[in-house]
Amino acid sequence: MKTHFLLSLFAIITFASCEKKELPITLPAKGDGQVLQVDMGETYDNQFFINLEQQKVVHVSEVESWDLAFSSSASQHGIYVNGGKGMAAYNTNKTKFEDVGYTDTTMAKTSWRYDAPNGSIDSSAIGDWKNKNNVYIIKLNENGTKIRKIQFLQEDAFEYKIAVGDINSTIPAMITITKNAICNYTYFSFELLKTVSGIEPDKNTWDIVVTRYHYTFYDQSPALRYIVNGLLLNPYGSSAYKDSLTDYNTIDENFATSVPLSESRDVIGYDWKTYIIDKGIYTIVKKYNYVIKNRNDHYFKLHFLDFYSSTGVKGSPKFEFKQLM
């Protein structure tokens, strides 16, 4: 059973081509709302930021165009790794940059920490680093062939100060990262050794993002780690509710305002689809519907219709949504 489960999970997140085959699949029935479909690419390379009120995509960027995301809020200091690239972090608990070297990677290989997609600093790979000055080893890709070390030195309402270098370097590059207040995060690239722009739009212009990210299945022993694709909420004032008992067409304003909403970024997540191994295809889980409340206190309902493009290529989530109030 465990082998079968492992194979199933591998199939869910594999980047191999999966075209529609076998018998036609019955898709969820369309209601009276707006339908939107985005093309992430067969390996889910692009991410789409969507404004539900305007019923359109407002920004597109490449998933792998950044490494670290620094919280831009004047009152927050969370730092997150790019789970869509398989990145992870290891806290060496050493406070001298020059004391961390290649020998520390031995322990890191068995102790990597990954961000949970809920967006909480307590569930992040780096964690609450402030006022500790610990040096971290960062894995830049899934197989760990690229690693760097970094020390987070200071943060205030306007900027961060960090020290960055190769794993055996003794003299780091000292970098100041100025918070981009109009966005949720300020993004940094290890390759460029500077911040990069154009990753996300103004935080006041979008509600949800279709993207690629890391997910850990803790119900397995040992825990299973995978890169998945799904839908995350805008952390700026968005919340949502996942329903599996109510018919989509009966969800109305009264229902939407009565359910308990969560601010966890991955309330919608990835599991609105499932992989059928014997047919080699993804299918939509029809029972799932979602209520979303955005930063403007407007409510929407949403459900998924398909995961394939009109030519049968995976990586094209299609969903229906409607503003309720």
Q: Which helix (H) or strand (E) holds 291?
A: strand 289-293
CA dist 300 and 54 (Å) reads 12
Residue 244: predicted pLDDT: 98
Give me the mean pLDDT over the 176-193 stretch: 98
* Interval 34-91: pLDDT, tens: 999 999 999 999 999 999 999 999 999 999 999 999 999 999 999 999 999 999 999 9
Task: Tell me: pLDDT of 113 over 80.
Answer: yes
- Secondary element (H or E) of residue 108: helix 105-108
| Token digits of residue 2 | 């465990």
Structure tokens at 93: 């608990």
The whole model's pTM is what? Answer: 0.90
Burial of 297 (0-12, 13-18, 19+ CB in 10 A): exposed
Tokens of 254: 């009264």
**What would the mean pLDDT of 143-171 be, rounded to a whole number?**
97
Q: Cα(134)–Cα(150) distance, rounded to whole angstroms?
A: 9
97 three-class SS: helix
In angstroms, the CA 267 to CA 261 distance is 9
Residue closest to 27 by CA, chosen among 225, 322, 317, 255 = 317
